[in-house]
Structure 1
Amino acid sequence: MTNRILKTTITATALAALVPLAAQAQPAEVIAGLHGEPDSLNPLYDTNLPALNIYYNVFDRLATIDGNGDVVPDLATSWSFNDTLDQWTFTLAEGMTCQDGAPMDSSDVKFTFDSAMGDSTSRLGGYLGLVDTVEAPSPTQVVINLKSAFAPFDRQVSLIPIVCQEAYEEMGKEAFGRKPIGSGPYQVTNWVSGDSIEMVRYDGFWGDAAKYDKVTFKPIPDETTRAAAVQSGDVDVALLGPAQVDGVKQQGSVDVVAQDANRVVFLGFNGGAPFLGDQKMRKAVDLSIDRTLISQRLLNGAATPTAQIIAPVTFGFDPTMEPTKADVEAAKALVQEAGYDGTPIKISYPTTGLPQIDQLAQAIAYFMDQIGVKTELDPMEQNTFYGNWFGKSFPGIFIFAFAPSVMDAHLPFYMLLAKDQQGYIYDDRIDTLMAKQVGENDAEARAADLAEISAINAERTIYAPLFIDSYIYGVSKDIDWSPRPDGMMVFR
């Protein structure tokens, strides 16, 4: 690897010459370019994406989501629930230890849940609003009592990294946030703010040994700088922006690896704004958009047109639904039927965080112009945009995205479509189906309920789904690493 000397013995070097290249050992160290730097490494208080990349390598959870979007065991080897889905029992593996050598058992799980729920400033506690009490009747058993039925609770616990109680209480939350102690395969050894976070293999890990001796995360917020860093060998793995992909491919020094994401980009409509309360007008906008052109030309093939606000990897996705095909003439007819009078409609969007967002907003405006609808672009700094989203104060159309970490349709449907949440347009049928699916213990029946919700959204054009995003990485040729749909850099 460029700018790196690997410690190998003469014997190992000689043996490497006798085996095929693909069979040779992985490098001992990996450096990953992270798109931002955490504020803290305390999972109770920092739940932002940069920190989550560290947590996936350092902490364990009761259950986790794998690269296919399925919920699988982690600390818990199995779990069960009662008929009313409001009591969940998790059975833990035996012989687990924290990275300081202390035992890891049900008391650490209870401590993590209770600490998050008992502190109003804990961001982790926001994921546990349905939890009533947590019991630890034995070292290998955790019983979680909910306030009401919640079918995807096994997925919800994947959001909760389990901290080691003894170390947390001894260190305090601030010190723990700089050098946390978990039970995962890597242990944080050093954090130099603005430069790097270093992790080494924890040899006492109860599961499969970590792949690398050492993993270093370097915060590199700028896409162009990340692309240059991976091409030069300063880092081994880096997320690329759509604008960098072709250049990195042509340069050829690293592999370019793509992964369909759990994130869907869509248009939302303020149904209280002029004309947008009319379903015909919303459908006209939907029909005006050439999703294939956006995917192939604007995003260099790094996106897939879609008909749903959830991605295929998300539970509840309906593979039978087809994306809306552009039909300018049909859209023009609907605009006329809606009585549109030429008043400009604002298109609000965040200036960062979404792929080629300025160009995407301009493309949407162009498509709408082709059907006779005037627009006004309304770019916003990201924090301002989120403030408008939470405040439900967009003046017209807005471009947004949702990527449910638990890869289940409940959260995006609840936040975007349920009455009195973050949406502007409601349908009583959706609220009925939401109440039904959350108490449904048959997975197929629940999936059918969620698919029906997607069909209602398409029928009424409550949202206009645009495309499924992709995560594209530059990866050093001597690294065997696979990306995940949630964009987390995991080196287990």
Structure 2
Amino acid sequence: MNIRKGKGVRRPVATLAALGLAFAGLAACGSDSSTSSSSSDTVRVVLAAEPTTLDPIAGARSGQVVWDTVIEPLVPTDLELEPTKDGLVTDWERTDDTTWTFTLREGVTFSNGEPADAEAAVFALTKVRDEPTSILKSFWTNAESFTAPDATTLVIKTKAPQYDLVNNLGTIYMIPPKYYAEKGPEGFSTAPVGTGPYLFDGQRAGRDMTVVRNPDYWGDAAKTEKIVFSWSSEASQRLALLRSGSADIAYDLPPAQQKEAKEADLNVITTESALKIVGFLQTDKAPFDDADVAKAAALAVDRDQIVEGIFQGAAAADGGLLNVKPGEQPDEVVSQDVAQAKSLMAGRSEKVTITYPAGQYVNIEEVAQAVGGQLEAVGFKVKYNAIDYGSLVTQVAGGELDGLYIFAAVPNVAVPSFFVNGFVRSASITKNCGSPELDAMADEAVTAADAEAAEEVYDEINRIAVVERNCYIPLYRQVYAIATAKNVSGLVYNPIHASDFTGVTVG
């Protein structure tokens, strides 16, 4: 999802170049120069991981920081995570309980010349709802039909009332129908085309990706001509590249590197993210198909200790699942109780595998080890399974995992139904907690008149799924940290992991 401010204030694009071993060696020598050697027309951004795909239909949002510069959502959000009318959709009306009518911006075209009209919106929506490889298909099961009465009018009919439909359009990225159909997901990912402020300019496999300013963008032009994105899984190397002048912006810095960046007089941007790290229990498989064992695991974990010990407070402990916006707290949480956990284990020594995406999130290895140590303290025998993020997503969606896996709950839109559809329903991505009872409650919540009316139902869903059944062990919200060179300004980052690079300048 992205921060979109439409005509007059556009959103961001980032760049970074993983500049190879020569630069890594230079950084290792300890140069403290914070003056970028790049042209003022180029921004070099270094990310923590290479995007697995630039196809917004099939791709996890880890690639959004790159594709979001080229491809735009139908409905952007502001910094308070509310939908706005200054993007590709300029107005909407709820015609009746199950019908919504949207007005699209007139005259917008994709960079390849195809019209970015209502028919294109229907194409994108249909792909997201119906494609087997769609990462968000479970979020659109309530959509009955998408039609385009004319070029600027989109009508969505739902099977049942849905008060938060507008929010969900933030997950729909506009793609050119003919080009996407011709190239397919893999071909599109190699050379994405959109309506955004930047054009995709190519990639060097395993090294970097480049976007350049779109001269025909419908909104205000981006200030920077080019953004080069590269990546390094080592936070120390990302910071070293920035300190040596080989990069302008470094993403995803742990507390130690944040402190070092401040001491080097670099700019450090910190934002409490809506992204939260959660332990998912596969409650349909041993050992967590035993309710007492699942409860014992939940009671074993001390999230406050993890936040203080690993992040020195640079994360926010959070025991809920459906409290989506930063600062929101659930009514009930599970707190550590070692004595009760041991009692539930009753002397058993259950084997459990902890699977986690190596290098994907700040200090994730340490988090996995900390959770494992706490489980071992109450009687579990723990084995660790570190895999790459793409493999984890595939195995989660395929139901291939057992035990506990650590995964980020990333709300592309700031409404509880996003996590309910993604994780709680029987047809969800994770499929680790679904039941007819929770499905019925989810239906009740989303058909409420508004968010306030739905809140009580969502609170009860959270209580059942997290506190009673222990399908999830919520851990913490990530406090996201980005460092920039002193001569870089204008980067905007919001809690839904969206970056706006359009105002970035290198002075």
Per the TM superposition, whether the score is higher than 0.5 is yes
Matched with 1:341 is 347
Deviations 1:383-410 (A, max 9, x none): 6655553454655444333212223222
Q: CA deviation at 1:136?
A: 1.7
Counterpart amino acid of residue 437 in structure 1:
A
Identity within the alignment, %: 22
Task: Name which of 474, 478, 483 aligns with 2:483.
Answer: 474
The amino acid across from 2:381 in the alignment is: T
Kept in 2: contact 1:61–1:159 (CA 8 A): yes
Contact 2:139 2:418 in 1 (8 A): no
Q: 1:301-320 residue pairs with structure 2 within 5 A?
A: 301-310=313-322, 312-313=324-325, 319=329
User: Which amino acid in structure 2 is aligned with residue 341 of structure 1?
Assistant: G
- Greater shift after overlay, 99-108 or 467-476? 99-108
Given that residues 276 and 282 in structure 1 are in contact (C-alpha distance below 8 angstroms), is that contact kept between their aligned partners in structure 2?
Answer: yes
Q: 2:36 is matched with which residue?
A: 2
Aligned equivalent of 1:13: none
Q: 5+ unaligned residues in a row in structure 2: which ranges? A: 1-34, 503-507
Kept after mapping to 1: 8 A contact 2:356/2:405: no
The one of 189, 213, 217 aligned to 1:201: 213
Corresponding residue for residue 11 of structure 1: none
1:204 corresponds to which letter in structure 2? D
- In the alignment, structure 1 segments of 5+ residues that lack a partner are 7-27
The residue number in structure 1 matching 2:369 is 362
Matched with 1:464 is: 473
Q: Secondary structure at the match of 2:500?
A: coil
Structure 1's 376 and 123: CA in aligned 2 closer, same or farther, altered over 3 A?
A: closer
- Aligned counterpart, 1:14: none
Q: Does 1:439 align with 2:451?
A: no
Aligned to 1:373: 379
User: Are 1:218 and 2:230 matched, yes or no?
Assistant: yes
Deviation at 1:141, TM superposition (A): 0.8
Provide the residue aligned with 2:498 in structure 1: 488
Q: Is the 8 A contact 1:65 1:71 kept in 2?
A: yes
TM, length-normalised to structure 1 = 0.80
Give the structure, 1 or 2, with the largest relative contact order (CA under 8 Å, sep 6 or more). Answer: 2
Q: Secondary structure at the match of 1:62?
A: coil
Among 411, 417, 435, the residue aligned to 2:418: 411
Shift of 1:186: 1.8
Is the CA contact (8 Å cut-off) linking 1:33 and 1:217 kept in structure 2? yes
| CA deviations over 1:195-218 (Å, ceiling 9, x no partner) | 433323334333333243332222
Deviation at 1:242, TM superposition (A): 2.1
Q: Choose from 195, 200, 215 the match for 1:188.
A: 200
**Structure 1 residue 250 displacement after superposition:** 5.5
1:2-401 → structure 2 map (5 Å cutoff): 2-6=36-40, 28-38=41-51, 41-44=54-57, 46-49=58-61, 51-73=63-85, 74-85=87-98, 87-99=99-111, 104-114=116-126, 128-165=140-177, 177-242=189-254, 244-246=256-258, 248-249=260-261, 251-271=263-283, 276=288, 281-310=293-322, 312-313=324-325, 319=329, 321=331, 324-327=334-337, 331-333=338-340, 335-336=342-343, 338=344, 340-352=346-358, 353-370=360-377, 372-382=378-388, 385-386=392-393, 389-392=396-399, 394-401=401-408
Q: CA deviation at 1:444?
A: 1.0
Equivalent position SS for 1:472: strand
Deviates more, 1:123-132 or 1:345-354: 123-132
Deviates more, 1:272-281 or 1:62-71: 272-281
Opposite residue 57 of structure 1, the aligned amino acid is: T
Counterpart CA distance in 2 for 1:194 and 1:416 is 31
Q: Give the letter for the 1:156 counterpart.
A: N
CA contact (8 A) 1:108 1:162 kept: yes
User: Structure 1 residue 309: deviation in Å?
Assistant: 1.7
Query: Does the Cα contact within 8 Å between 1:265 and 1:309 map onto a contact in 2?
Result: no
Indicate how the Cα distance of structure 1 residues 167 and 380 shifts in structure 2: closer, same or farther if over 3 A, else same: closer
Matched, 1:402 2:409: yes
Partners of 1:66 and 1:97 in 2: how far apart? 24
Alpha-carbon RMSD: 3.5
> For residues 102 and 325 of structure 1, do their structure 2 counterparts lie closer, same or farther at Cα, with a shift above 3 Å needed?
closer
